[in-house]
Amino acid sequence: MKNLKLILLAIVVSLAGVSCSSDDDDNNNNNNGSSSNSMNIEGVESDISEAVLIEYGENEDGSYDWDVVLLGEGLIVNNQDLDGSGATLYLDLNTNNADGLRAGTYTFSPNYEREEFTWVAIEGCQNSDGLECQSGFSQGQDGTVVITGSGSNTTIEVTVTTNGGNISANYTGGFISL
């Protein structure tokens, strides 16, 4: 399994000097109505400020490895460092497209077999302090990731069970690509 710290470090280094704004004008519903872009990691609700898309290339079976990292409010990029604290949600997805994520339902691959429209890892952290997860990781064990739309109008809906509860997320917007 990929190390979330290395992924977040790569994100921070790549984002130096880049500025983005979030767009919360979609019509998705969530449990508390406070934001259309939010995640819930085992009962802890957090707003999503940014989404990052990382390409890892082609897998042995011809599928493509794309990772998404959803960053919670409170985490900011500052001089190539990730500062502040907030939630993070890491999704290791496999699709049939070399150019990015495809719309569809991604299901859990319990044997870590990378095939089209599967996910092999989902890790949530309720409280990251910079690059360090202070609360411990919640590991996805079953469930789905549904992707609709494309480009700056991509919607991601996560519904996953963990060993301690559930992870859910709703995000609509674009991605910072790495």
Residue ranges per structural domain of the chain = 4-177
Which helix (H) or strand (E) segment holds residue 69: the answer is: strand 64-72
The token pair at 167 is 């992870």
Q: 91 or 26, which is more confident?
A: 91
Residue 24: pLDDT above 70? no
The token pair at 91 is 């999704």
3-state secondary structure of 157: strand
The strand pairing partners of 173, in sequence order, are 154
- Given this model, what pLDDT does residue 150 score? 92
The strand pairing partners of 175, in sequence order, are none
- Given this model, what pLDDT does residue 91 score? 97
- Interatomic CA distance for residues 141 and 160, integer angstroms: 7
- Cα-to-chain-centroid distance, residue 30: 17
pTM, 2 dp: 0.80
Residue 99: pLDDT above 90? yes
What are φ and ψ of residue 134, in 5° steps? Answer: -85, -25
Residue 29: pLDDT above 60? no
- The dihedral region occupied by 104, where left means phi > 0, alpha psi between -120 and 50, and beta the remainder, is left
Q: 18 or 97, which is more confident?
A: 97
